[in-house]
Amino acid sequence: MRYLTFIVTLFLITSVQAQERKVKAEPTIKPTIMVIPFVKESEQLRTVYEQDDKLHLRVAVTKVKEGFDKNEIPTVDFRAKLRQLSNDKLMQIGNQSTIKQEVIQVSGADIYVEVESSIIQDLAGNSSTVTVTAFDAFSGQVLASDVATTTKFYTHNFEKLTQKAIDKIMKPFIGNIQDKFDDLLKEGRTVVVNIGFDENAEMDMDSEMEDGRLFSEVLEEWFEENAHNAYFHIQGVTATKMILDEVRIPIKDPKTGRNYRVTKYAAKIRNFLKTLDLDATRDVVGTKIYITIN
């Protein structure tokens, strides 16, 4: 009897250990992060970051990046990406928001984090406030945010004050980002798709296909099969246009594990239309896809 009990116990322990190994074999997919300083629309990204009186901001950006690195979350150095843009190109860019978008696009990051740092000085002592906000690099959607203010100290070591503020928020902030990224992996990213016709096109949404279905029905079936988790919503259909105000696409390519670009999904739609002997052009603006059938 004792021998039988030992065998059963051993079997249970082995089964539990096997389950634990199985869980460990499926590591969490972590997002790639780029940390950038917060700047107002009228300010230049590089100018603000390099100002002599912004040492505390540079410390904040560096320490937030280090916080991700210490948690083994891959990061991109925004300064290197900023230098990657040639001076000539920066001279041609007319406003700050475009410069930021250029840096984000060349970074290849899944998420970018804006860091705002300020120092409050008064007779009761000095303190630091740090605000961090994480955005989906593709849609601009806010994923997580947090703010921390230190207690007041009689010190002018503003960099140390900044570090204290960051230490208060990094752990929960990283946890919130990972939770939101996990949701994105599961639910997919939302894009908008507009499908229309050139003025010289010989067909429309009501055209009957060889199998007797309307062209709009063929499109709807395709999106059902090719939207992430079959999730899509048609805002409206007319004879000349179909507007899908929400189509979910994966954020990672299931074959390569790399970022799944909106342009790739647009090309997928265009290639499908080719199988129907339809020529089409596509334009992609942010997370909006415009398909024009010629």
Task: Examine the fold and report which residue of 156, 186, 216 is the final residue of a domain before the chain moves on.
Answer: 186
Q: CA–CA separation, 118 vs 122, rounded Å?
A: 13
Which domain covers residue 169, as residue numbers?
Answer: 33-186
What percent of the chain shows pLDDT beyond 70? 84
> What confidence tier does 158 reach under pLDDT thresholds 50, 70, 90?
confident
Tokens of 105: 């696009």
> Of 186, 205, 229, which marks where a domain is finished?
186
Residues 52 and 156 in one domain: yes
The mean pLDDT value for 126-150 works out to 89
pLDDT of residue 146: 94
Q: What is the pLDDT of residue 48?
A: 75
pLDDT band at 8 (very low <50, low <70, confident <90, very high): very low
Is 179 found in the same domain as 201? no
224 in the same domain as 142: no
| CATH number reported for the structural domain that contains residue 96 in this entry | 3.30.160
Q: Is the pLDDT of residue 136 over 80?
A: yes
**In the predicted model, is pLDDT for residue 280 greater than 80?**
yes
Q: How far is CA 154 from CA 54, 126, 158, 166, in A?
A: 20, 6, 11, 19
User: What pLDDT score was predicted for residue 27?
Assistant: 57
Do 149 and 180 fall within a single domain? yes
> What pLDDT is recorded for position 255?
82
Closest by CA position to 190, among listed 134, 133, 229, 219: 229
Is the same domain home to 104 and 157? yes
Both 158 and 207 in a single domain?
A: no
Query: pLDDT class for 51, splitting at 50, 70, 90?
Result: confident
- 239 and 194 together in one domain: yes
The more confident residue out of 125 and 25 is 125
Amino acid identity of residue 124, one-letter, is A
Q: Tell me the average pLDDT across 153-160.
A: 72
Of 255, 261, 251, 257, the residue nearest 229 (C-alpha): 251
CA-closest candidate to residue 65, choices 157, 218, 217, 170? 170
Tens-digit pLDDT profile for residues 69-87 = 999 999 999 888 888 775 5
Same domain for 133 and 104? yes
| Rounded distance between C-alpha atoms, residue 200 and residue 188, angstroms | 36
- DSSP letter at 150 equals P
Please indicate, yes or no, whether residues 55 and 168 belong to a single structural domain of this protein: yes
Q: What is the mean pLDDT of residues 131-157?
A: 85
Amino acid at 82: L
User: Which of these three, 186, 218, 241, is where a domain ends?
Assistant: 186
Q: What is the average pLDDT score of the chain?
A: 84
Q: Taking 70 as the threshold, does the pLDDT of residue 22 lie above it?
A: no
β pairing state of 232-237 and 75-76: unpaired
Beta bridge partners, 289, equal 193, 284
Which strands, in side-by-side order, build the sheet including 111-122?
75-76, 33-37, 111-122, 125-136, 142-149
Is 13 part of a structural domain of the chain? no
Report if residue 9 sits inside a domain: no
Average pLDDT, stretch 115-134? 84
Asked whether residue 113 carries a pLDDT value surpassing 80, the answer given is yes
Written as six digits, the tokens of 170 are 């990094």
